[in-house]
């Protein structure tokens, strides 16, 4: 019996998909009550085919804009949960306030989704800037993967300085140049491989598109993208 990392209540065994398959592998760290406050991205959700944003259109405005910039891409972004109030509160405590123990809250769900994918694709977490590393002390995406025991490679480096994303407006964020480079010794791991770029949150898609754009120069077989929240 484990304790919910969010509300500290006892976690009962539940019949969720992730729990059924992985309860013998790692303890569940979130209680049913907390889980019920999340909004999973499911087959039934009405959403954009490109990025899973809740949308009546087949492709949302952001995706249509990206399509003009990157016409050759056929991105089908996947996420686990929508960025609702619970997710925002989580990200504030985990990422902004730096409570790194919370990296395990979604371990079971991430393991269930990314575990099988990690056998066929190289998992590449989005790197954070040196500034963020200094203030937070950890890469929140890598820590999520560590907690879920998902193997990954640190292929990209974030060399950008600039202002914080959150201080920019949406138009600025979509225009900003990409701050990523591929580590030279990782080139051979990317060429010809299926890669899955992983981020914590998909906002405009800019971060993942720019990371994909860097990887693309090294001719991977396929690039897919994933984020915990959408």
- Residue 208 interacting with Zn ion (CB under 5 A): no
Q: How far is the CB of 202 from Zn ion (least distance, A)?
A: 9
Q: Indicate the residue among 63 and 128 with the shorter CB distance to Zn ion.
A: 63
Which residue among 18, 60, 80, 182 contacts Zn ion (CB under 5 A)? 60
CB 22 within 8 A of CB 112: yes
Nearest to residue 95, comparing CAs of 135, 149, 123, 66? 135
Contact window for Zn ion (CB under 5 A) among 3-11, 127-135, 160-168, 183-191:
3-11
CA atoms of 87 and 96, how far apart (whole Å):
13
| 7-15, 120-128, 161-169, 185-193 -> range binding Zn ion (CB under 5 A) | 7-15
Query: According to the binding rule CB under 5 A, does residue 7 interact with Zn ion?
Result: yes
Residue 34 binds to Zn ion (criterion: CB under 5 A): yes
* 48 versus 91: smaller Cβ distance to Zn ion: 48
Residues with Cβ < 8 Å from 117, sequence gap 6 or more?
Answer: 123, 196, 224, 226
Which residue of 22, 28, 41, 50 would you call a contact of Zn ion, by CB under 5 A?
50
Q: Name the one range near Zn ion by CB under 5 A: 21-29, 34-42, 131-139, 161-169.
A: 34-42
- Token pair for 7: 């509300």
- Examine residue 18 and tell whether it contacts Zn ion (CB under 5 A): no
Distance CA 91, CA 99 (A): 10
DSSP-derived 3-state class of residue 223 = strand
On the 0-12 / 13-18 / 19+ scale of CB atoms within 10 A, 189 is middle
Size of site (CB under 5 A) for Zn ion: 11
Asked whether 91 and 165 are in contact (CB, 8 A), the reply is no
Q: Which residues bind Zn ion (CB under 5 A)?
A: 4, 6-7, 31, 34, 48, 50-51, 53, 60, 63
């Amino acid at each position: 019996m484990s304790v919910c990392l969010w509300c500290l209540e006892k976690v009962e065994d539940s019949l969720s998909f992730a729990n059924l398959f992985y309860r013998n592998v790692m303890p569940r760290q979130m209680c049913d009550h907390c889980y019920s406050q999340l909004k999973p991205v499911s087959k039934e959700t009405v959403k954009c085919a490109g990025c899973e944003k809740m949308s009546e259109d087949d492709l949302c405005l952001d995706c249509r804009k990206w399509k003009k910039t990157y016409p050759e891409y056929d991105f089908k972004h996947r996420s686990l949960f929508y960025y609702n109030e619970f997710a925002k509160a989580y990200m504030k405590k985990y990422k902004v306030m730096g409570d790194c123990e919370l990296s395990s809250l979604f371990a079971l769900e991430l393991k269930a989704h990314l575990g099988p994918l990690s056998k066929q694709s190289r998992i590449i977490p989005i790197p954070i800037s040196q500034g963020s590393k200094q203030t937070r002390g950890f890469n929140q995406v890598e820590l999520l993967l560590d907690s879920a025991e998902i193997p990954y490679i640190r292929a990209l480096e974030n060399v950008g300085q600039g202002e914080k994303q959150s201080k920019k407006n949406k138009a600025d964020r979509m225009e900003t140049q990409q701050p990523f480079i591929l580590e030279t010794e990782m080139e051979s791991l990317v060429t010809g491989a299926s890669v899955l770029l992983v981020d914590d949150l998909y906002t405009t898609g800019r971060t993942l598109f720019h990371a994909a754009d860097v990887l693309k120069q090294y001719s991977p077989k396929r690039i897919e993208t994933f984020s915990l929240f959408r």
